[in-house]
Structure formats: structure tokens, C-alpha cells
Amino acid sequence: MRTAALLAVAAAFYPASASAQQPTDEVSVRGVRHSHDVVAMTVQAQEAKTVAGTEGDPVKVVQDLPGVARPSFGSGDLIVWGSAPRDTRTYVDGVEIPVLFHGAALRSTVNENLVQSVTLSPGAYGADYGRGLGGLVQLTTRDLPEQGAKAYLDVDTIDGSAMVSGALGDRVRIAVAGRYGWLDRLLPIVTAQNVDPYFAIPGYGDYQSKIEVQLGEGERLDAVLLGSRDDLSMTIPDADPSRQRSETTRAEYQRLYLRYRRNSDASSVEVVPWFGRDGSTLNAEFGATPDMLDSSTWRSGLRAMHRSRVAPWLGLSVGIEVDDAQSDIRRRGSLEVPPREGDITVFGQPPGRDVNVDHWSVGILDIAPHGQLDVDLGPLLVSPGLRADAVLTTVGRQTPKVGSTPSVGLAHLDGVLEPRIAVQWRVTPRVSLLGAAGVYSQPSDPTDLSSVFGNPTLGTSTAQHVALGPSLRLTESLRADVTGFAKWMSNLAVRSPLPTPQLAEALLPDGSGRSYGLQILVRQSPSKGLSGWMSYTLSRSERTTPTGGWRLFDHDQPHILTLVASQRVGAWIFGTRLRVASGLPRTPVVGTFYDAASDQYDPLFGSQNSIRLPTFWQLDVRVDRSLLVGRVTVDAYLEALNLTDHTNGEEYVYNIDYTRRGTITGVPLVAVVGVRVDL
Amino acid sequence: MRLLLSSLAAIATACAPTVSSIDWLVTAPRILAVRAEPAEAKPGATASFSALIAAPLGTSTGAPSWSFCVATKPLTEDNIVSDACVGTSALLAAGKGATILAATPSNACSLFGPETQAGGARPSDPDATGGYYQPLRVDLGATEPTFTLVRISCDLANASAAAAATFAQAYVPNHNPQLLALRASMGGSVVSLDAIPVGVHVSLTASWPTASAETYAYYDSASDTVSTKRESMALAWYASSGALDQEATGRAEGDRATFSNNGWTAPPSGGSSQLWIVLRDSRGGVDFASYQLTAIP
């Protein structure tokens, strides 16, 4: 008998025949969401929100999944299997959103009560997704209650959120939710210290609305609206205005999509047209040197998929993904800001004095038909697939502006064929062997296509992923997976190494990368109130350019150990989380010289990324208690983050002449209390 | 609520770095500033370059040696000069002594400015004041090298003919600012620099003529227009003993005040202390002065 995970896969492809076999007491699955997504891990929201350290936000569990590195302090970046943060894509019901978290992963940008499950595919996933060299994070929204009206109010030290949902007749259900973060306003009340330079707290908020319409038997239409914004403002004052620093950032997105689904005995159809906008603004000043990057992008797209059972042993999936992004971007400041992966710098180092300016537009239209077969050969399930990404990139200006001369744009079309395959071999009822491989591509980042700050001719980057390993079912609820993985990346945009680069070639597509490692996952699916997992990832990620040798990736983290456990005892839930992670690489300062023009010192560096920050470890605990008061359910929780008050060194910082090095330390023992009221 | 508040306070105080530095205290010979006269000139023009060398009282210093950096900084390096100039592979000797006369390299505008050597090459970017700079290295004994940036007059990059003509007509090359005499006061009363009571805190006021903070023409490539900006002023303070309140003070571009205050606490042991003040304008102009402060019982 196959595991619940494989049953879930079968259900996805053969809805009618498999649904009767779906276990009803299983709330989470491991392994294969689709048969061609063999290294994905899915966590149901109900389980995820009891994990210590998530403050009840199920999406935050992503950071605890195998293969995910701990990001640098104060960052919500997702670093998956050694890929750069912006190479990993995040989706809600198949619609891409630009950011998963508010601020430094304080909270997810999608209301936790709308989330049904969180799935992480660290790599080697199927042909229905693409446009990224890294991993995938997929959120699915939950079905709304079929009867009556429900509401909840959730308040803790970080923010407050609320949601109202109800059924309008037999066919229509509706929900509205919102959240407002107040930590940025609470902190100044309790402390007069300026915390901004090292632990800036953004103001944030988000909103969601969902309408479900049951069109007929097995046929449904959802309309979903998502929105999120983050605001951050900080100033580091100085008696010398030329040393004063200030920064204001704003990031927001909106999405509106329809999701049509129709399931029948032999096939299923899903069509998701969507529309939205991404916006981000950075305004900073380092003394008199400005730094501004303003980006506004109108997004639209379509995701359509048809799955059918051609024969009892053969499933066929065909679909198309269309993604259009029209960006308008303004930038003023130094080439060095924002920093790029591979830049050799130290925390707090002032940017260069150079200032330039550009205003450019970028259109990226990506049309990707894809298909996949699922060939069931008894113990062997083979899923070959093919995706073809055709990317039309248009840039409003191919050379820097000269006076008032009209701009001359350019357009280029890139096509990438991306074969993919996944294989599952059920060696014994308890042992399976899983393997997957594929080619992946990623369009250029519009902010890299400036003729002044980047290169408008940059094309798509590509990667090859391979994953292989056994899956062992130790008991009915306990399983172990061991996965070896490797990625090779090419055509990565990197800074030109030339002292005098060619015009409009500040960036070149000459970077390459490789990442390889092994991850071990032992997972206890919910059973007798106990759930959790232990994951360990051993990896190495490197980058190179034609003029340099291989070096460690800026986010390389060779050892990541995570232990998560929750135990329900009556109305109580006790949870704990232990995280241990290697420190990120840093480049040592081996000397200095005095800059008499600015009265500051400049560092001289040793071998790139040849030292590391201290190893991080932290123990968190969580206690949940549910109370039923009449018709009202009250859930209260207390989380103690960093229970042992361990001092983690999060970043190196130097004195003014770089003769002494210290560390910025992480968050000490912190308690977070929250109350949730369900009506 | 108590738990909540203490937790938030913990977050707020968690992250302070553990290093600090007292850069204003001069304990060994070092170069504090370099002044070019004229402050801005065409490449190839001869200028005088003077170094402000600070040392504790009674300490002797050797003569510094000077050299121009002739390597363009790649985009992969974040310092103000190329690593090649921190080594010795891209230096052009300019002289030796506390003050030298030297001509800046005639190709400075192509190395460090908008004039590209080869067709189709990317020109260097100006600073926030629109200026381009020739790096100049000064070595004093075994101390770490010092670099300064000498402002050079180059043509505009990528400007229309009309904007270039307007700019050429309006732009006045930078002049060095001028420090006026330092004033010390205590409780509103003027204190003589050679009779400061030991252990007391005095207010020091550095000032400059209104004309030192010049207005200048600035070309905005985004709008292809020429506008007017005003220099900001920055003061760096150094002392051989005692305690300065701030190591740097100044006035922003829009601040019309022509003075800047700092505080100095005389050493309780008394005696003479050396004080150095460096005034920099935002276009690279420099003036400096040194004073002997005497603390008496």
C-alpha cells in the first residue's frame, strides 16, 4: 500500500477513482503533490500554525522546511538549495506574488485563515511551473465554510487581523480579511532607543477577499483579491550632515484573479486569469549622495491546465502559462547600491560617491506551453514533461540618454526548451526511490535592464536541477526521506569586471553557479496529537565568473538543522523548534587606507567569502490553549523565542578604521503573546 | 502587559554592535587632510598639494611621498580608488614633501571622467555635485596609505548642446573654503585658548566666510537642465588629548549658517593639547588649521 502522499497524487490525477481512497485522518502529506513534483513538502495550515516561532502564521513554516537556508539578519529572503532569493517564486493558487513576507519575515502577506496549505518545492519540479532558477513556494487558499457566518479576531504583540466569512445561499460564499501591523508604533512607546539602524521595523498591512461560486456539479469559480504593503522609514542622525543616513522604502502588490475549476471522472480543467500591480520604492541618502529606485509594474497572466486519463496507465497534462510584466523604473544613485550578490563589502560601508540617473521601461512577455505524461508501470511511475518558454523582452532605451535625443529601444526574443522528468520507483511497500531532473529558465530582472546601471540586452538565465533519493515509510505516520541534489546555473547577471566597460554593459550575463548537497527529512505526520519533523541539509553553493575562480555563494550555508515538534494534550498544544545553521560567508578585512576626501577609511579585503559568521542556534517554545466560552472559541498562545537567551552573532561590524571587529547580536529571549477569538 | 513591554524593549536593545572607535584622538603621526590649490583645474594643470600631518606634541614626522593613481576603478570594487592603486602597479610619482607642485595627468578626464578612451566605452559617473576626480596617493612612513580626490574640470557627459553651453557659461570652478579663527567659550564667555581650566568643558566654534559655501551650476542629466546648488560644509575635529564631543560636525546644503560648534573637555592633568580642524566643502575644497590648547590648573 502506498503512502498517503502517493494517494494524494493519484487523487490529483484520477479524481473520481481515487477520492474514495483518500484517508480522512491525514491532514498533511509528504512527497509528491503531483507525481512529477517528487521533492516537494506540503504542510497543512492547521499543523503549521502550531509550530513554535510562527506566531500562528502557517506560511512562516516555510523557513523551517528542508533545503531552506536561514537568511541574513533582518531579511525575509528565501534561499532554497543555494539559489539566490529572487530566483525562488511564490504563488497563491498558481498566481505569482512578489513577496511572501512582510518586513523581516514578521508575517506572511496572505492572511493565515485563508491559507489551506503551504508547499515548498526546492527544485526539480514539474513542467507546469517555471520562470525561476530556484524553488517554488505555493500557497493554496482554503475553501470557505459552506454554511452560516464566521468571524475571527486575532491580536498579538506584532499585529492584529480579522476575517469575516459567510455563505450567501447554497452556491455563493464570501470572505473578507485584513491585517494591520503595529510593532513599529509600539516599540517607540517602550524604548527611547533608536533601534532603526540594526532592527528596523516596517509598518505593514494586507487585505484579502474571496468569493466562491459553485457553478454546478464539480464546477466552481473563485474570485480572489489580494493586497499587501510595507513601509519603512529610518534615519541615522549625525552631527555632520555629510554622514547622516536616511532610508525610506515602500513595497506593495495587488492581485485580482479568477480561478475556474471543473472536475469530471476522467479529466480536470483549471483556468486562472489574473491581473495586478507590483510597486517598490527606495529613497535613501548617504550624506549628500542620493539613492533612489522606484519601480512600478503592471502584471497580468493566465494559467490554464487540462489533466486527463488517456488510459488506465497513462495520464496527460497540458497547459499554458502566460505572464506579462510592464515595468516603469527610475533610478538615481551609485552603481553600488543596491548591492548585488558577489559584491565585496562590509556591513555599514558607505556607498560610492558616483551618481547617475536613468528612467527606463521594460516589457517582459513570457508564454510557456507545457505538457506532462504520467506513465504508471506498476511499481514505476515515470513522468516526462516538456515546457517551452518564449520570452519577448522589450526595453525602452538601449543606450544612455544623450541630451534630449529620443530614446531608441530594443526587443529580443529568447526561447528555451525545458525538458523535465520525474521517476518514482516503489521498491517495496515501505521503500521508494524518487528522482527528478529538469531544465529551468528565468527572464531578466527588469531592474537589471537599465542602459546606465545594467545591460538592456540581458537574456534569460538557465539552470539544470537533479534530485535523487530514497523515501522510507518507517511507520504509518513516520517517514524518512533522503535527497541528494545538484543545480548548475548559467548566464547569471554579474557586474562587468572591466575597468572601462562597454556602454550599456555594466552587467554581463557571464556568471555561473553550482549548488549541491544532501537533505534528510524525518517527518511525523499528525498522529495521536503528535506532529513535527527533523530536517538536516548539507550543501555547498558557489559562483564564478570568467575572470575569477569558484567562490562561495554569498548565502552559502553548509549545515542547516531544524527540529519541529508539537504535541496536543486536551485543550493544550505544546510546541518547540530548534534551529541550528552555519553562519553566512563574509569577506575578511585585512587592511585599510584613509580617504582624506571624505574623512573615512576604506577597507582592503582578503579572500572573498573566506570567513563565516558564528553558527546560529535558537530554541523556541510555544503553548496554545483553547477555551470555549458559549459559542465563542478563544485561543491564546504564548511563544518564547530564543528560550535560552543565546547570543547569536548576526553580522560583523567594524570600527571606523577597520582595526577592530565586533558583532551585531540577534534577538534575545522574547515573549510573544496572542489571543484569537472565533465567533 | 509587563511581559509584553519587556519583550519589546528586548527587541529594541538586542542588536547594538560591540565596537566603538575614537577616531579624533591623534596618538601617532597621520595625514588628516590634503588641500589642492587651486581646488579645481583642468587635467594637466599644475597645482600645489599640501598635506595636514598630525602628530602628538613632540613627535617628529617624515616627509610624505606623493603619487597619482592612473587606474580606473572596476565596477566590482566599492572603494574610492582601484585596488591597483593601493598596490604599486598603477602609480605615477608626483613628488615628496609636505607641499608639492605637480601637474595632474593630462588624461584624467578619460580615466576618471566622461571622456572615454575607446569608442563605445562607458564613461565614469560624476559625484552628487557633478564633479570628477583624479585620485592622489600620499604615503607617510609606515602608516596606511592616504588617498584624496582632486577635482578636475571635464566636459559634461551626454548633455545637449544647449545645456552644455548654459553650463559652461554658469559654472565656476571650485575654490577652497577658508577657516576663520577658532573661538572657545565657557558659559557664554570667551575663553583664551591658552588658559582653559583643567577638566572643564569648553564650546569650540569654527566659522567660515559666507562666500566659502559657494553656489555652483549643476547639470541634471535626467532633465537635461542646469540648476544651481550650494555646497555643504563638513568639519572634522582632532585632538591629541582631552575629549571632543563630536569627531565631525557640519552644515547641510540648505543650511545658511557659517559656523559649527563642538565641545572639548580639557584633560584633568593639564598641559598643552594640539587641536586640528579640517573644513571640507562638498566639491572637494579643503582648508585646515591647527591650534595649541593649554589647560591650566
Residues B75 and B129 in one domain: yes
Q: Is the distance from CB of B30 to CB of B283 less than 8 angstroms? A: no
Please judge whether B12 and A351 are an interchain contact, meaning their C-beta atoms are less than 8 angstroms apart. Answer: no
Q: Is the distance from CB of A230 to CB of A250 less than 8 angstroms? A: yes
Residues B165 and B273 in one domain: yes
pLDDT for residue A146: 83
Residues B192 and B277 in one domain: yes
- A 607-666 residues with CB below 8 A of B? 650, 653-657, 659-666
CA distance A164 to chain B (A): 28
Chain A residues with CB under 8 Å of B252 CB are: 241, 288
Residue B8 lies in a domain: no
Cα distances (angstroms) measured from residue A61 to each of A45, A119, A160, A208: 9, 10, 19, 20
- A 371-430 residues with CB below 8 A of B? 400-405
Chain B residues with CB under 8 Å of A662 CB are: 17-19
Boundary-marking domain end, from B132, B158, B184: B158
Q: What is the DSSP letter of A133?
A: S
CA distance B297 to chain A (A): 31
Please judge whether B79 and A602 are an interchain contact, meaning their C-beta atoms are less than 8 angstroms apart. Answer: yes
Measured torsion, CA atoms of residues A524, A526, A529, A535, in degrees rounded to the nearest 10: 30
CATH code for the domain of A436: 2.40.170.20
Please judge whether B147 and A595 are an interchain contact, meaning their C-beta atoms are less than 8 angstroms apart. Answer: yes
pLDDT for residue B207: 96
The residue range of the domain holding A294 is 4-678
List, in order, residues 6 or more apart from B132 with CB less than 8 Å away. Answer: B108, B109, B112, B113, B114, B124, B126, B151, B152, B154
DSSP readout, A430-499? SEEEEEEEEEEEEPPPGGG--TTTS-TT---EEEEEEEEEEEEE-SSSEEEEEEEEEEEEEEEEEE---S
Q: Determine the Cα–Cα distance for residues A567 and A532; give it in Å rounded to an integer.
A: 9
Q: Is A209 on the interface with B (CB under 8 A)?
A: no
Closest to A295 (Cα-Cα) out of A341, A360, A392: A360
Residues B164 and B296 in one domain: yes
Residue B103 lies in a domain: yes
**Residue for grid cell 532607543:** A193
pLDDT for residue B17: 61
Mean pLDDT by 10 residues, chain A (679 residues): 32 32 36 59 88 86 91 84 93 95 88 92 94 95 87 86 90 94 75 52 91 92 96 83 86 97 90 97 86 96 94 93 97 90 89 90 97 92 96 93 81 95 94 95 96 95 96 93 96 91 93 96 90 94 92 96 93 93 96 93 95 95 89 88 90 90 86 84
Please give the residue of chain B at the shortest CA–CA distance from A455.
Answer: B122
Chain A residues with CB under 8 Å of B222 CB are: 332, 357, 359
Please judge whether A403 and B159 are an interchain contact, meaning their C-beta atoms are less than 8 angstroms apart. Answer: yes
Residue B10 lies in a domain: no
CATH code for the domain of B107: 2.60.40.10
Chain A residues with CB under 8 Å of B163 CB are: 403
Residues B195 and B119 in one domain: no
Q: Is the distance from CB of A320 to CB of A129 less than 8 angstroms? A: no
pLDDT for residue A516: 96
Chain B residues with CB under 8 Å of A104 CB are: none
Helices H, strands E: what count in chain B?
A: 4, 20
pLDDT for residue B126: 93
Closest to B207 (Cα-Cα) out of B248, B184, B178, B249: B178
List, in order, residues 6 or more apart from A442 with CB less than 8 Å away. Answer: A87, A131, A132, A133, A460, A461, A462, A463
Low-confidence residues of chain B, pLDDT below 70?
1-20, 58, 117-119
pLDDT for residue A47: 87
pLDDT for residue A548: 85
Residue A44, number of CB atoms within 10 A of its CB: 22
Q: How far is CA B188 from the centre of its chain?
A: 30
Q: Determine the Cα–Cα distance for residues A191 and A181; give it in Å rounded to an integer.
A: 18
Q: Determine the Cα–Cα distance for residues A340 and A444; give it in Å rounded to an integer.
A: 14
DSSP readout, A575-623? EEEEEEEPPPEEPPEEEEEEETTTTEEEEEE-STT-EEPPPEEEEEEEE
Across the interface, of A353, A596, A656, the residue whose CB is closest to B34 is: A596
Residues B274 and B201 in one domain: yes
Residue A615, number of CB atoms within 10 A of its CB: 12
Chain B residues with CB under 8 Å of A503 CB are: 120-122
Q: Determine the Cα–Cα distance for residues A68 and A560; give it in Å rounded to an integer.
A: 8
Please give the residue of chain B at the shortest CA–CA distance from A592.
Answer: B144
Residues B144 and B167 in one domain: no
Q: Is the distance from CB of A231 to CB of A185 less than 8 angstroms? A: no
pLDDT for residue A386: 97
pLDDT for residue A212: 95
Residue B73 lies in a domain: yes
Chain A residues with CB under 8 Å of B263 CB are: none
Please judge whether A504 and B236 are an interchain contact, meaning their C-beta atoms are less than 8 angstroms apart. Answer: no
Number of domains in chain A: 1
Q: Tally A–B CB contacts below 8 A.
A: 252
Number of domains in chain B: 2
Boundary-marking domain end, from B111, B141, B158: B158
Q: Is A344 on the interface with B (CB under 8 A)?
A: yes
Residues B110 and B137 in one domain: yes
The residue range of the domain holding B149 is 23-158
Chain A residues with CB under 8 Å of B79 CB are: 593, 595, 602-604
Please give the residue of chain B at the shortest CA–CA distance from A341.
Answer: B76
Q: Determine the Cα–Cα distance for residues A83 and A679; give it in Å rounded to an integer.
A: 43
pLDDT for residue A197: 55
Its pTM stands at 0.89
